[in-house]
Amino acid sequence: MSINVLRFTTAGNVDDGKSTLIGRLLVETQGAFEDQIEGARRENERRGGHGIDFSLLTDGLRAEREQGITIDVAYRYFATPKRKFIIADAPGHEQYTRNLVTSASTSDLAVILIDARNGMMTQSRRHAFIAHLLGIRHFVVAINKMDLMDYRKDAYEKIQKDFVDFMNRLGGAEAYCVPISALAGDLVTEPSARMPWYTGPKLLELLESIEVDDPAYKQAFRFAVQLVSRPPASAEFPDFRGYMGRVASGSVRVGDRVVVLPSGARTTVTRIVTQDGPLEEAFARQSVTLTLADDLDISRGDLIAAEAQPPQARTELPPRRKHARTRIPCFGAANK
């Protein structure tokens, strides 16, 4: 199944350039507003710099801007003609490692940034391990700040080998490596004449083309109700009753017939709501609010499922499947 929306988290050691990379992606894909870009430009010039400080587009908290680090998980959105993206910028500082769990738990892919000068650090390994532990099986390794290493092939190849060896020990994942300079723009969305030895795709091309083959997307629709939403009446929603939760598997569209368990009541989905607005369709691992055509007795813990594919009651658990070890393709001269 080709997924039109890719959710990915960025992770890595502190100061490896995650916020700068995301800021550049937003600017070069028209994912940032003009006033945000101008604000980042003015703030950078106020500090004595020139041009846009891309990191200011994602470091939204005042404490983050003052300290120059990411503290909270910052969610950003952009799109290209080929795919829509939801980015979760996770903090790199060891003190805020726990926030990576928040961002990785709903992501399909992890972009691990590594400073080309320092190679893989403890925090880089820790973030990759946590993402893998949370079920992420697709990694893009962005070896950043190649401009500070004179765009040398040997610097890229050493980090490439270290990461491949580390992921081989974890098993069950697929990784793609690409050398970049988030600050200068090399191989982020545009090609680089300064690294002719690299023959693979640009970072954005990778994100547009990677197929996230998550079994949860292929299964029947399942949605556990976590909270019943009854906000104060308004002109737009005089009697709103929504059921909040996370799509555990499959997908659901407005107009789909569903069954509510354990009551067995049947109804139709009338609206899918998120904090960013209404949706026509929601996919696995996405947190949404559903509204239904009928006024049913539904509470926290009930299950909303596809009417055509309802859950089957069992008296024992099926045998656990083992994850197969997967190939780890990396691009570059080292693979020739």
* 126-170 pLDDT, tens digit each: 889 998 988 888 999 999 999 999 999 999 999 999 998 998 888
Residue 329 banded pLDDT, cuts 50, 70, 90: low
Domain that holds residue 249: 216-306
Give domain status of residue 332, yes or no.
no
Looking at residue 297, which CATH number applies to its domain? 2.40.30.10
Answer yes or no: do 189 and 132 share one domain.
yes
Answer yes or no: do 202 and 278 share one domain.
no
Answer yes or no: do 149 and 220 share one domain.
no
Give domain status of residue 11, yes or no.
yes
Answer yes or no: do 125 and 238 share one domain.
no
Phi, psi of 19 (to 5 degrees): -65, -35
pTM for the full predicted model: 0.67
HSE, side-chain direction, 13 A CA sphere, residue 242: 20
Judge whether residue 292 has pLDDT over 90: yes
Look-up of token digits 């709501």: 273
Give domain status of residue 156, yes or no.
yes
Phi, psi of 175 (to 5 degrees): -130, 145
* Cβ partners under 8 Å of residue 32, min gap 6: 23, 26, 57
* 200-232 pLDDT, tens digit each: 999 999 999 998 766 666 789 999 999 999 888
**Strand 138-144 to 109-115 pairing:** parallel
The predicted structure's pLDDT at residue 228: 94
Residue 277 banded pLDDT, cuts 50, 70, 90: confident
Answer yes or no: do 129 and 225 share one domain.
no
Distance CA 76, CA 43 (A): 20
> Pick from 178, 213, 248: which residue ends a domain?
213
Answer yes or no: do 116 and 175 share one domain.
yes
10 Å Cβ neighbour count for 85? Answer: 21
The predicted structure's pLDDT at residue 97: 65
The predicted structure's pLDDT at residue 39: 80
Answer yes or no: do 229 and 255 share one domain.
yes
Residue type, 55: S
Pair of tokens at residue 61: 């908290």
Give domain status of residue 313, yes or no.
no
Distance CA 172, CA 230 (A): 43
Answer yes or no: do 63 and 151 share one domain.
yes
Greater pLDDT, 78 or 332? 78
Answer yes or no: do 55 and 97 share one domain.
yes
The predicted structure's pLDDT at residue 96: 60
**DSSP characters for 93-149?**
SGGGTHHHHHHHTT-SEEEEEEETTT-S-HHHHHHHHHHHHTT--EEEEEEE-GGGG
Give domain status of residue 333, yes or no.
no
The predicted structure's pLDDT at residue 261: 94
Answer yes or no: do 107 and 223 share one domain.
no
> Pick from 156, 187, 213: which residue ends a domain?
213
Give domain status of residue 47, yes or no.
yes
Residue 102 banded pLDDT, cuts 50, 70, 90: confident
The predicted structure's pLDDT at residue 328: 54
* 34-82 pLDDT, tens digit each: 887 888 788 778 888 777 878 777 655 334 344 444 445 667 788 899 9
Distance CA 209, CA 83 (A): 9
Give domain status of residue 314, yes or no.
no
Give domain status of residue 315, yes or no.
no
Residue 289 banded pLDDT, cuts 50, 70, 90: very high
> Pick from 213, 238, 263: which residue ends a domain?
213
The predicted structure's pLDDT at residue 40: 78
Q: What is the mean pLDDT of residues 9-27?
A: 86
The predicted structure's pLDDT at residue 74: 64
- Percent over 90 (pLDDT), the chain: 42
Q: What is the DSSP letter of 181?
A: B
Domain count, the chain: 2
Answer yes or no: do 41 and 116 share one domain.
yes
Looking at residue 128, which CATH number applies to its domain? 3.40.50.300
Least confident range of 141-145, 191-195, 237-241, 332-336: 332-336
Residue 320 banded pLDDT, cuts 50, 70, 90: low
Answer yes or no: do 260 and 156 share one domain.
no
